[in-house]
């Protein structure tokens, strides 16, 4: 992964520093209070359950109870406990400050990882992320589980690009752990799974096509089967839930031919054409 020297007085870094100060300062100045129905559920239901049952038993029971809604998110109570319990003890501002720091960390981790993979300066990626207004929902609503999706999804992408250890067994253990934690955070984690699959394919393309090594093909097959298993698992869970029962596989095709679907398929189609047209260049590119 390409390394970039951090220059604190660059324009991009000053913009990010000012933005971070404004976010943290805004939380301290405005002193936000809990307001969503999710906040009420966590404060008067989930946290008391954790106190009565203990953290890990409550995590397990929450995951089982979540199945009736058509979801399986056993990692969610861990985030709720970490963000809301300090707020119960010290006031809501503690929850919002911790949430702001956690949200900023997740976005920086994701932006830094993606910048390293594509070889661009991280600061520009951070500024681009800050320009997306929907990012600020993470700061306004501590209950949003998308933070976990970003965290575990980025971890999986990072591991697909550059393993952490020399030991294959350790790498496999960490990789599967990242995948399962992401899968158990929210179904939208599969967006990061698809990114990680492309990254793994791109990094190993020479071993796959030119050197024709067996192990990368086996790893790619295992990677693909993990995704298939995840889709089948989530589809089964969703089909049994009261909240997700209206979801249907029949909506996949209409969604793919929608404007958003074409925006997704366009780059994939162009990438496939590029590989087929100039396979040699694709394989020789560093």
pLDDT at 23: 83
pLDDT greater at residue 119 or residue 248: 119
Rounded to the nearest integer, the mean pLDDT of the chain is: 83
pLDDT band of 24, cuts 50, 70, 90: confident
pLDDT at 256: 67
Percent of the chain exceeding pLDDT 90 equals 39
For residues 161 and 198, is the Cβ–Cβ distance under 8 A? no
- Rounded to whole angstroms, the Cα distance separating 66 from 70 reads 7
Cβ atoms < 10 Å from Cβ of 158: 22
Q: Give per-residue pLDDT as tens, 35-90.
A: 878 899 999 999 999 999 999 999 999 999 999 888 999 999 999 999 999 999 99
pLDDT greater at residue 55 or residue 137: 55
pLDDT at 17: 79
Query: Which segments of 162-213 does DSSP mark as H helices, in order?
Result: 168-183, 190-203, 205
Q: Look at residue 121 and tell me whether its pLDDT is greater than 50.
A: yes
- Tell me the whole-structure pTM to 2 decimals: 0.81
For residues 216 and 208, is the Cβ–Cβ distance under 8 A? yes
pLDDT at 58: 93
């Amino acid at each position: 992964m390409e390394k970039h020297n951090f220059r604190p007085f660059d324009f991009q870094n000053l913009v990010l520093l000012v933005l971070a100060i404004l976010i943290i300062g805004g939380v301290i100045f405005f002193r936000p209070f809990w307001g969503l129905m999710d906040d009420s559920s966590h404060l008067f239901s989930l946290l008391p359950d954790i106190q009565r049952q203990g953290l890990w038993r409550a995590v397990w029971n929450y995951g089982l109870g979540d199945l009736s809604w058509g979801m399986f998110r056993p990692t969610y109570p861990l985030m709720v406990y970490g963000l809301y319990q300090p707020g119960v003890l010290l006031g809501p501002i503690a929850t919002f400050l911790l949430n702001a720091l956690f949200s900023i960390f997740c976005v920086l981790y994701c932006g830094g990882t993606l910048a390293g993979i594509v070889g661009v300066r991280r600061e520009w990626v951070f500024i681009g992320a800050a320009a997306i207004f929907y990012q600020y929902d993470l700061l306004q609503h501590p209950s949003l589980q998308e933070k976990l999706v970003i965290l575990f999804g980025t971890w999986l992408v990072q591991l697909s690009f550059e393993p952490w250890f020399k030991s294959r067994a350790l790498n496999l253990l960490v990789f599967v752990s990242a995948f399962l934690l992401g899968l158990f955070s929210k179904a939208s984690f599969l967006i990061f799974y698809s990114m990680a699959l492309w990254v793994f394919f791109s990094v190993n393309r020479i071993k796959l096509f030119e050197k024709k090594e067996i192990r990368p093909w086996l790893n790619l097959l295992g990677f693909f089967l993990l995704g298939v298993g995840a889709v089948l698992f989530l589809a089964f869970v969703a089909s049994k839930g009261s909240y997700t029962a209206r979801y249907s596989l029949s909506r996949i095709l209409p969604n793919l031919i929608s404007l958003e679907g074409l925006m997704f398929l366009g780059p994939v189609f162009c990438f496939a054409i590029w590989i087929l047209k100039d396979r040699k260049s694709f394989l020789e590119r560093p």
